[in-house]
Amino acid sequence: MTRSQILAVLVMALFTYLPRFLPLTFFRKKITSKFINSALYYLPYAVLGALTFPGVFNSTPNLVESCAGILVAVFFSYKGKGLVFVAVAAILASYIVQFMI
């Protein structure tokens, strides 16, 4: 390995370790702030949505198919259906719209 490759691996290791290490150093006591607790509670959902949502639009060649799947998923999620049901319904909706277009 070249010197620049070793440096790149070390920098990546550092920036992978820092997000795990810093909260332990700054938050030794129990967090009592309701604002911070709620932010930390909802943060994983927001990150997951931000990572997943753009991929949904690129999953099919036609934007209409993707939108149909999203609308069905949002509808059934709002109605309180389970994750597997929502995913299968969204896939079926996208698949059906694909044949209708």
**Alpha-carbon span 30 to 35, nearest angstrom:** 14
At 72, phi and psi to the nearest 5?
Answer: -65, -40
pLDDT at 92 over 90: yes
C-beta separation of 93 from 68 below 8 A: yes
**Alpha-carbon span 13 to 18, nearest angstrom:** 9
Q: Residues of the chain with pLDDT > 90: what percent?
A: 47
Q: How confident is the model at residue 47 (pLDDT cuts 50, 70, 90)?
A: confident
Query: Which pLDDT does position 9 carry in this prediction?
Result: 94
Query: Which pLDDT does position 7 carry in this prediction?
Result: 94
Say how many C-beta atoms besides its own lie within 10 A of residue 5's C-beta. 9
pLDDT at 28 over 90: no
pLDDT at 6 over 90: yes
pLDDT at 23 over 80: no
